[in-house]
Structure formats: C-alpha cells, structure tokens
C-alpha cells in the first residue's frame, strides 16, 4: 500500500551522489547506522521472546485468551514499544536522530510482514524466512531520513541532513538542484549507505514533474526492436529489427573476469593474515589491521567491477528506451539458471553473474515508463533461439555451444543471437499491432505469446510504484494485517 498517491504527470526517481564526509561526520554516520541496527535487533529479540513464550504456554494447554499479550508488527506499534524501552536499554539514544531508530524498526516491520505473508503462500517468489539478527560484518550500513531538514545546497557541492549537518558531495548535484529550484522536483526522503568500497552515498527519493523523453534524444527509424541478451564477450545485447536487420550490439565488459587475477592475489593474502576466525581453535578473534586493509582492497575491487558493469547497462538501456517505441526482451529465470550445476558449471555461473542479465530487464521496466516507450516481455518458454527467423521452423536440439543457427528446413545460416533478436522483434511488432487483444501469431516468431508490462497512458503512476519502496500494511486491518496476526499467534 503506497504512502501517498503520486499526482498525475509526476513520477518518482532517485538521485544518487557520492559524499566525502569528514572524520567526525564519518563517526556520526557509523553511529546512526549502528543505532538502526540496534533498534532492529532489540525489537526482534522482544518479538521472538514473546512468540516463544506464547508457543510454550499454548503447549501447556493454556487458552488463547490467557496467553501473554502479543506484540503488533506494524511500524507505529513497534515504535511505541521502542519509545517506552529506549531509556532503559539505550540510554545513549539522544546522540542520534530519531530517524536512525525508525529505519531499523521499519526494516523489521517489513521483514516480519513479508515472512508472515510468505507463510500463507500469498507472496510471489521464493519463501521468505524469519528475520535474522543484523551484524556489523554482514549487514550493509544504511539509514534513511524522511523528516527534518533535507535539502540540496545552491552551491551544487553540499547537502544538509538532520543531525549530520552540511555534508560535501564528491560530485556536482546540479541535476537535482536545477529541478528543485525550478519547482519541478520535490525531495521525499534521503538514504545514506556505505558500499563495499567504504564509500558513502546519499540517495534522494524525489517526485519529478514532466518526466518525458529528452528533446535532444535521437529517434530511431526502427520503432520496434528485439533485444537478445547473452554472456559472450561480443554479445551482451544484440538489437535487431523485425525485417531481419541487426541494428547494433553491445559487447560484454566482463569486469569481474578482468579483475580475477587481482582478486585471487588479494584473497590469498587475506587468507595468510590474522583474520577474524581461528581455524585451529574454531573461535572468533580480533582481526589484524593488515587483514582489514586487505579486505577493504578486495571490496574496492569488487565495487569497481560493479560500477563498470552498471555504467554499461545504464547507457545501453537508456539508449533503447529513448530511441525506440517498442522493446521486446526475454523473461529469463537468471536465479534458476545459476542454482544448479556445481563445480562443473562454475564458469557459466560466474559468467552469468558478471553479465547481470536480470538488471537489464529491471532497468528497462522503469526507463520505458519514464520515456513513454512500451516494454514487451516474451514468455519464459518462448523459443526465440530455437525458432528460425527465415521460415519459422524449430530446432529443438540446439545447444549452448551452437553459436550459428543452421536451419534444417530452409538452409539459412545466421548468428544465433541475431536470430533470437529478430524473433523477439517480430513478436513485439505483433503485440504493438494487436494492442489489448493478447498474444497473436507473429509469423516466424510464433510462440507462446508475451505480456505487455507498461502502459504509456499511466507513466506517472507506473513509474512511482516501480521506483518507490512498497510499504507494508499495518497489522490491524486488511489482508496483510490478518496474516501478520495469525503468524504471530502460530
């Protein structure tokens, strides 16, 4: 359930900037993130204790009306209990902003709500387990500010946040500052987080008015295209038109493969140093400074690879969404593709992770809404690679090693990725022509159909739901509230 209704003509977008905090501000940031983690763990301990107590009393045959009173899982109820207990269990609570504790309580409320709904089978995706306690080593430092002074300074180099004051940004904030000054953007919240490279970022969730295709964006003469994704070095994205022309292809940067030698050396060095775990006594110990420095270098290496990958994907998907009207992509189960195989398939699994195929469809899903394009997702079982783009024949025995598609019916020989992109483009061309009539025969790309994900007439609402975080339903009303109450009584 959304916190508010997004006005017509507006959309939600996040602006992310790197910041350069001073040493004192860095200490304050860590303190705020630790406070959020403490509030999460403290209330999770209380909720778990009450659930165990109720389960024990129920096993003794005590009636439900005489059980220990349960604890509500909604954010307001958790916050009320926290305010009653913080003076005793966190006497230092005044050193941090109240938003820090609200961040941890909100995360706990969402986690419990997702777990309760998943138990009933009403939540799509993999089953969600019971929330685990957060640790400084495992959880990502993060804190969110929704109230107080949150603004971007006019000098384009500083931001202001509650309790933290004025923070210098590593890069210019002019893209957001210009919109705020013009009145076409309104900041809703700000989230501070630290990545694996120990770099701090601030992400502003904003309402943007008139998010349309830029005037300077070049329109392609091919409005309908198909996009085939892969892990080969020369074919991360292959874009083709319905008439069989290959428009362009994006090579895979493979940043993880390029940094494997460096990662191997750093990880071997870390293994030789005094780490946090003693393999002889099988106990935890205080890690050495050099081990911490080496792990920080490993994190920076991974962060650089992720930044290179993200840069290539953002540029490619933005170009697709701005230049073409209908974009057809595959619905790949990337997590399932990497879930099995073991050591014999580790090379393929590593290549899939290095390509980040799932992010391509995710980026296109909201960018097409921003720029007024249509995203058509082919069914997961649509045979784009096994169907001949020349005659429509099928080749069921096609393997991953076959990089050239050779049709046994018409004798055509074509690049495998280009053939799949053509079939996807023809499917998207059919979908754009039939409109709301559902899947139809797309000539040589006939298959099990596709579903259209975006609606150009609802750009503002669609983008807002996509970009904003879904809020849970309080455990007092509605279906989710009923599920939460039942999950607690179990």
Residues 103-121: pLDDT tens digits? 999 999 999 999 999 999 8
Better-scored residue on pLDDT, 464 or 426: 426
pLDDT tens for residues 273-282? 998 988 888 8
Task: Please identify which of the residues 99, 222, 228, 429 carries the catalytic annotation.
Answer: 228
User: Whole-model pTM?
Assistant: 0.79
Residue environment code for 398-427, b if the CB has 16+ CB neighbours within 10 A, otherwise e: eeeeeeebebeeeeeebbbbbbbbbbbbbb
Cβ atoms 357, 229 nearer than 8 A = yes
Task: Please identify which of the residues 113, 415, 417, 429 carries the catalytic annotation.
Answer: 417
Residue bearing tokens 């969402």 = 110
Task: Please identify which of the residues 330, 374, 429, 461 carries the catalytic annotation.
Answer: 330
**Which residue in 467, 460, 465, 435 sits closest to 326, CA to CA?**
435
Residue-level pLDDT at 469: 37
pLDDT at 429 over 80: yes
pLDDT at 478 over 80: no
pLDDT at 324 over 60: yes
pLDDT tens for residues 45-94? 999 999 999 999 999 999 988 899 998 889 999 999 999 999 999 999 99
Residue environment code for 257-287, b if the CB has 16+ CB neighbours within 10 A, otherwise e: eebeeeeeebeebbeeeebeeeeeeeeeeeb
Q: How confident is the model at residue 9 (pLDDT cuts 50, 70, 90)?
A: confident
- Is 20 among the residues known to form the active site? no
- Is 8 among the residues known to form the active site? no
- Is 466 among the residues known to form the active site? no
Better-scored residue on pLDDT, 6 or 98: 98
pLDDT at 447 over 60: no
Cβ atoms 178, 152 nearer than 8 A = no
pLDDT tens for residues 343-355? 777 888 888 888 8
Cβ atoms 10, 207 nearer than 8 A = yes
**Mean pLDDT of the chain, nearest integer:** 84
pLDDT tens for residues 154-174? 999 999 999 999 999 999 999
**Which residue in 197, 151, 147, 188 sits closest to 18, CA to CA?**
197
Q: Which of 293-302, 346-355, 364-373 has the lowest mean pLDDT?
A: 346-355
Residue-level pLDDT at 466: 30
């Amino acid at each position: 359930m959304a916190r508010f209704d997004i006005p017509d003509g507006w959309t939600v977008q996040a602006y992310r900037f790197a910041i350069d905090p001073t040493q004192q501000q860095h200490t304050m940031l860590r303190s705020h993130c630790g406070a959020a983690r403490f509030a999460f763990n403290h209330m999770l301990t209380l909720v778990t204790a009450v659930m165990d107590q109720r389960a024990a009393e129920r096993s003794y045959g005590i009636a439900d009306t005489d059980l220990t009173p349960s604890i509500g899982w909604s954010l307001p109820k958790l916050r009320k209990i926290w305010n009653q207990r913080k003076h005793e269990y966190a006497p230092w609570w005044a050193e941090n902003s109240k938003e820090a504790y609200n961040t941890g309580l909100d995360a706990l409320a969402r986690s419990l709500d997702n777990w309760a709904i998943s138990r009933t089978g009403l939540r799509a995706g993999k089953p969600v387990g019971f929330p685990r306690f957060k640790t400084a080593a495992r959880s990502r430092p993060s804190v969110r500010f929704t109230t107080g002074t949150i603004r971007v300074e006019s000098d384009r180099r500083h931001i202001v946040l509650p309790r933290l004051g004025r923070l210098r940004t590593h890069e210019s904030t002019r893209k957001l500052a210009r919109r705020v000054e013009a009145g076409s953007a309104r900041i809703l919240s700000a989230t501070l987080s630290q990545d694996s490279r120990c770099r701090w970022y601030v992400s502003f969730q904003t309402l943007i008015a008139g998010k349309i295709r830029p005037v300077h964006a070049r329109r392609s003469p091919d409005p309908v295209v198909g996009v085939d994704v892969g892990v080969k070095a020369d074919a991360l994205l292959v874009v083709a038109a319905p008439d069989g022309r290959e428009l362009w292809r994006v090579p895979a940067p493979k940043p993880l493969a390029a940094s494997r030698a460096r990662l191997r050396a750093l990880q071997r060095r870390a293994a030789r140093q005094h780490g946090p775990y003693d393999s002889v006594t099988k106990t935890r110990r205080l890690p050495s400074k050099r081990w911490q420095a080496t792990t920080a270098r490993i994190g920076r290496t991974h962060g650089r690879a992720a930044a290179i990958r993200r840069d290539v994907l953002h540029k490619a998907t933005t170009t697709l969404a701005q230049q073409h009207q209908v974009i057809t992509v595959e619905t790949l189960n990337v997590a399932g593709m990497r879930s099995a195989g073991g050591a014999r398939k580790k090379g393929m699994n590593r290549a899939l992770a290095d390509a980040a195929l799932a992010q391509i469809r995710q980026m296109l899903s909201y960018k097409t809404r921003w720029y007024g394009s249509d995203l058509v997702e082919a069914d997961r079982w649509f045979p784009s690679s096994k169907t001949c783009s020349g005659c429509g024949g099928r080749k069921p025995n096609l393997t991953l090693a076959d990089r050239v598609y050779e049709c046994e019916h018409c004798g055509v020989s074509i690049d495998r990725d280009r053939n799949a992109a053509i079939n996807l483009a023809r499917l998207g061309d059919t979908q754009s022509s039939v409109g709301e009539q559902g899947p139809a025969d797309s000539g040589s790309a006939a298959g099990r159909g596709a579903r259209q994900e975006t609606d150009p007439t609802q750009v503002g609402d669609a983008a807002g739901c996509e970009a904003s975080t879904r809020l849970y339903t309080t455990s007092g009303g509605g279906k989710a509230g009923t599920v939460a109450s039942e999950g607690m009584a179990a």
